[in-house]
Structure 1
């Protein structure tokens, strides 16, 4: 007798209430720890913050990659939304500038976001698909801004990567400083880079943050 080809494997049973609660706590704790300490933070530190055992954490998320991609998928989707809104702006340079500024603000708010955005996760198909959407959208923003003559023709996505790396350094070096100081320093860096990429006339820079050499 031939097996019925329409037969489907039974769906995985839903998580019990306590398991769902643990999963939610782990994700919340991971967001906090990754934001504070970056993606290399020990898994044990996340388990402690969540109030669960390390074994419980690994039952829910067998690998660091699985936890990272689950935590940062929403931020990556948010990044795609930012790019989509920028593409809808009738002024391509303004859309490009706004997207860069917004993504860098997201980055400063969460240290882990940089690592997740720049790291490849071949096993996380959905995460990589969303990242691909973001990269394609950024590429289109660049092409449109260059077509207006306001963005240097030699500009490439590598320059965006360099900005993200530099902005990450600002966040790391100023860890512990007031949020307003970190935001102002990041904003000044981003505006300086945008001015370097822009053809005349240049947009004005925002006020310099209150930093001196002793902050280095």
Structure 2
């Protein structure tokens, strides 16, 4: 759907206000506060974003696309073990860089049609990676794309909860990769 120019500017202000809140550590994103920060009425926020989840999904769309590009590269990597590792690292990196994406990937379901389409695309690419990895003996036969999503969400939480020197990412990735092996 194409927005009128004034509506697009208002939407951009609301997204900027939400991004500023997330950057400040507020991932709750109360829509009343977003409206106030953007200088609009709360009804305007609800016209653009039916819920907090819809707002999060809009904020995460670019990072979701970046993750899909990483999944496509992993699926095409001639070394599927490296491709799988790269995909897990990219999923973790994207979630750490974008708390909105982390929240969207951790949510049980999506609200926006665009997010549903992005999720299907990521799932299909992830399954391509996993199918190739299974065929090469790199992962267990029972691992599915949703397992990978849940594991990277857990890794993201584990990394955020610690205060280490940055080595946790590699250590946790290695633990998960060992657990995925047959």
Which structure carries more helix by proportion?
2
CA distance in 2 between counterparts of 1:32 and 1:170 reads: 24
What aligned pairs does 1:52-201 form with structure 2 within 5 A after superposition?
A: 52-119=40-107, 120-122=109-111, 124-174=112-162, 177=163, 181=165, 183-198=166-181
Task: State TM-score, norm by structure 2.
Answer: 0.81
- Contact persistence 2:74–2:83 (CA under 8 A): yes
Contact 2:56–2:101 under 8 Å retained in 1:
no
Instruction: After TM superposition, give the deviation of residue 70 of structure 1 in Å.
Output: 1.7
Aligned-residue RMSD, C-alpha: 2.8
**2-structure distance, mates of 1:68, 1:13:** 19
CA contact (8 A) 1:34 1:111 kept: yes
The aligned counterpart of 2:5 is 15
Which sections of structure 2, spanning at least 5 residues, go unmatched? Answer: none
Q: Which has the larger radius of gyration?
A: 1
Given that 1:163 and 1:190 are in contact with CA atoms closer than 8 Å, whether structure 2 keeps it comes out as no
1:171 Cα offset (Å): 4.5
- So what's the TM-score if we normalise by structure 1? 0.70
Distance 2:159 2:38 in 1: 25
Shift of 1:172: 4.5
Q: Which moved more, 1:40-49 or 1:92-101?
A: 40-49
Listed as ranges, the matches of 1:33-44 within 5 Å are 33-34=21-22, 36-38=25-27, 40-44=28-32
Asked if the contact 1:37–1:111 (Cα under 8 Å) also holds between the matched residues in 2, the reply is: no
Tell me which moved more, 103-112 or 153-162: 153-162
Q: Shift of the alpha carbon at 1:143?
A: 0.8
Cα offset, 1:77, TM superposition? 1.4
Deviation at 1:14, TM superposition (A): 1.9
Q: Tell me by how many angstroms 1:34 deviates.
A: 4.1
